[in-house]
Structure 1
Amino acid sequence: MSTDTPSTRRPTGRVWLITGASSGFGRAITEAALRAGDTVVATARRPETLKDLVAAYPDRASAVELDVTDPGRIAAVVAQVMLWYGRIDVLVNNAGRGLVGAVEETTDRELRDLMELHFFGPAALTRAVLPHMRGQGSGAVVQLSSMGGRLSFAGVSAYSATKFALEGFSEALAAEVAPFGIKVLIVEPGAFRTGFNGAGALLRSPALDAYADSVGAVAANLTADDGRQPGDPARAAEAILAALDADPTPLRLPLGNDAADAISASLDRARAEFLAWEPAARDVDFTAAG
């Protein structure tokens, strides 16, 4: 790892720290930030996959090895970025993967590993950058969630559990750090043309015949959809940059017509259910006599 002093790396524009930058949304956000004239520290488990971006933007792009499930490495990378540039303006927690499996099929190891990747890793990175953002009186934390962080369906219980956890964490975080000038943006994409559904990328829990018609069908459809998803990651990245520049920045940003439709319908169902059961909800306090 380089031991450059801050004076040898003078940042242009905002300084971004992006995880999972080798492909998908991470790659698209990295490219969008660089096109915008900003400085990006792009991290990946295999940073050599980012050589072309570093070559294209040698003064503003750096590729750094990072596995977000390694707490020691998280601390080292944040310290390195601060040594290089003296600040971190935007953290993008993007690293992730998919898992399909019924609750009964999902192993404890699968669930714990996915939670490490989608929740504990981003939580650790967020905690690591917050003292620096508070000190500079500004910053933004972008959490790549999913429409599966707002609603769920058969076969994605583990995946949604990790994203629901991240969203709850981030909603509280937003209230805590707003007084320090720090923004929090939760991004909720639908189906985008990334490698998420590809062979070897989308994991499948050991299948039980009992769930072949429900969960098995979900897995088959996701695999068949690879390369045909309607969402454009480059356009999603531009929407994320626009949201960060907006005043106010939204807490949640659904992306894609499928995500917008599903989230809207879910909100309608939740509202209807609440109204149907509101009298019961309000009728459980102690009575005046009690």
Structure 2
Amino acid sequence: MSTWFITGASRGLGLQIARTAVAHDDTVVAAVRDPAGLPDDLKRSDRVLGVRLDVTRSEEIVQAVESATQRFGSIDVLVNNAGRGLLGALEEITDAEARSLFDLNVFALINLIRAVLPGMRAAGRGKIVNIGSRSGFEGEPGVSMYAASKFAVAGISEALSAELAPFGIQCMVVEPGVIRTDFLDASSLSTAKHRIGAYNGTPAHVTLDWAGTANHTQLGDPVKSAALIYEVTCQDKLPGHLYLGPDTLERLQVKLDRIEQDAAPWREKSAATAHDDAAA
């Protein structure tokens, strides 16, 4: 039996991961802004502790982690699921909008990891699962800042895998494609308030139109996605990346092909930029 600490556990993918863990007799700390808003099945379960947590508030992170360890003794798996999206051409996005996004998607994740690591190091074990995105390996028009935040999550996760290995702690980034949750609702997705007409009809604004029509018709199944995340997390050895969903796998191949296309014509000259005495 493991104890899972899951942020954003009141809905969407976080909720389904929590339900999957409980169904497998694990215990769950459901960290949400308002525990009263948790679904009844989680509130009734003696395997679930609902804790109040705005992940952008450091003092609440400390309190939530303390409550979790007092109730269950340890945190075995941290799932950094809380996050939101931001649409708009980069030129349209204000500094305040970008910083607010990074406060939630990146810095809150960092602070939660910092909070749980002392306990995991003392135990000599632990798993950190960061929910990234397909946008964490491929930047696309209209989601530049969101992609930047998820690229950061992927980079942090890769570095942590190496940093934490000596302590018996593993880290994995999950990179889902589009999943049929509330992520495209206004509660999870915002649009740059400043609109520049010159971008109308360009790829950056086509993404805005897509978000409006795709809501609740996305390809991915959150229940199946959560089941796979749970299955992979329970393995003895975590992969560094869990590429989740057929659209993610398709775009991953596009990305790999593009890397080779970019590298191939310049590979020889790139290699030749070393000092002439480097091979000596």
Structure 2 residue aligned with 1:3 = none
In structure 1, stretches of 5+ residues that fail to align are 1-12
Structure 2 residue aligned with 1:105 = 92
Distance 2:42 2:177 in 1: 29
Structure 2 residue aligned with 1:270 = 259
* SS in structure 2 of the partner of residue 29 of structure 1: helix
Q: Deviations over 1:120-157 (max 9, x none)?
A: 00000001101101111111000000000011110101
Structure 2 residue aligned with 1:221 = 210
Q: Is the 8 A contact 1:51 1:63 kept in 2?
A: no
Structure 2 residue aligned with 1:40 = 28
* SS in structure 2 of the partner of residue 22 of structure 1: coil
Structure 2 residue aligned with 1:7 = none
Q: Is the 8 A contact 2:128 2:172 kept in 1?
A: yes
Q: Do the aligned partners of residues 175 and 56 (structure 1) sit closer, same or farther apart at CA in structure 2, a change above 3 Å counting?
A: same
Distance 1:83 1:61 in 2: 13
Q: Is the 8 A contact 1:16 1:92 kept in 2?
A: yes
* SS in structure 1 of the partner of residue 91 of structure 2: coil
Would you say 1:180 and 2:177 are equivalent positions?
Answer: no
Structure 2 residue aligned with 1:10 = none
Deviation beyond 4 Å, 4+ runs, structure 1: none
* 1:55 Cα offset (Å): 3.7
Q: Which amino acid aligns with 2:51?
A: V
* 1:256 Cα offset (Å): 1.1
Paired-residue identity, %: 41
Q: Is the 8 A contact 2:89 2:205 kept in 1?
A: no
Structure 1 residue aligned with 2:150 = 163
Across the aligned residues of Structure 1 and Structure 2, the Cα RMSD in angstroms comes to 1.5
Q: Do the aligned partners of residues 42 and 197 (structure 1) sit closer, same or farther apart at CA in structure 2, a change above 3 Å counting?
A: same
Q: Is the 8 A contact 2:43 2:50 kept in 1?
A: no
* SS in structure 1 of the partner of residue 127 of structure 2: strand
Structure 2 residue aligned with 1:78 = 65
Structure 2 residue aligned with 1:237 = 226
Q: Is the 8 A contact 1:53 1:61 kept in 2?
A: no
In structure 2, stretches of 5+ residues that fail to align are none
Q: Which amino acid aligns with 1:228?
A: T
* SS in structure 2 of the partner of residue 161 of structure 1: helix
* SS in structure 1 of the partner of residue 200 of structure 2: helix
Structure 2 residue aligned with 1:208 = 196
Q: Which amino acid aligns with 2:169?
A: I
* 1:80 Cα offset (Å): 1.5
Aligned length: 277
Q: Do the aligned partners of residues 117 and 199 (structure 1) sit closer, same or farther apart at CA in structure 2, a change above 3 Å counting?
A: closer
Distance 2:83 2:277 in 1: 52
| TM, length-normalised to structure 2 | 0.95
Q: Do the aligned partners of residues 97 and 83 (structure 1) sit closer, same or farther apart at CA in structure 2, a change above 3 Å counting?
A: same
Distance 1:28 1:124 in 2: 24
Distance 1:55 1:83 in 2: 18
* 1:18 Cα offset (Å): 0.5
Distance 1:272 1:62 in 2: 50
Would you say 1:14 and 2:7 are equivalent positions?
Answer: no
Q: Which amino acid aligns with 2:207?
A: V
Distance 1:277 1:143 in 2: 34
